[in-house]
Amino acid sequence: MLTLTCPYCGIACDETELSPGGEAHITRFGPGSSDQEFETYLFQRENPKGVHFERWRHAYGCGKWFHAARNTVTLEVYGTYSAQVFEPPQSVKDAISAKLPDWSWRGLA
């Protein structure tokens, strides 16, 4: 079972108290973008074995959206952080690097 700490209220939530929001840090391509870009935005997702970044919502609690960095193999959680950022904070990246020095995810490392 996954336990994530909500960065807004600080509660360690069980997976069943949260709503999953899919992959994190997706750039929206709307009107005026090419078909290729729109397809990427709408359909192309990572399916990593290892480090992954996701969006979650604290649905049975404070109701806030947040981001989580975790490992899809070991279920280890590297950290949770605010929803109002375009990429993970350095502290979260450092936490991952400490465990997996050569990780990468969609151009991040």
Partner 1 sequence: MSDRQSAMPGAHFDGHVRLRDAGLRGMITLRGDLDAGMIRKAAMDVTGQVFPKPRMANCTNDTGLCWMSPDELLVLVPHDEAATALAYLQAALAGEHHLAVDVSDARAVFTLEGEASALRETLAKLTPADMRDAALPIGQLRRTRLAQVPVAFWFQSESDAHLICFRSVADYVFGLLQNAARPGSEIGFF
Identify which of residues 11 and 26 has a Cβ nearer to partner 1 in the complex.
11
Give least dist CB 77 to partner 1, A: 16
Q: Which of 5, 26, 37, 62 binds partner 1 (CB under 8 A)?
A: 62
Tell whether residue 10 is a contact of partner 1 (CB under 8 A).
Answer: yes
Q: Per CB under 8 A, does 109 bind partner 1?
A: no
* CB-CB neighbours of 101 under 10 Å: 8
Q: Within its chain, how far is the Cα of 94 from the centroid? A: 15
CA angle 34, 35, 37 (to 5 degrees): 65
Tell me the number of residues near partner 1 by CB under 8 A.
14
d(CA 26, CA 24): 6
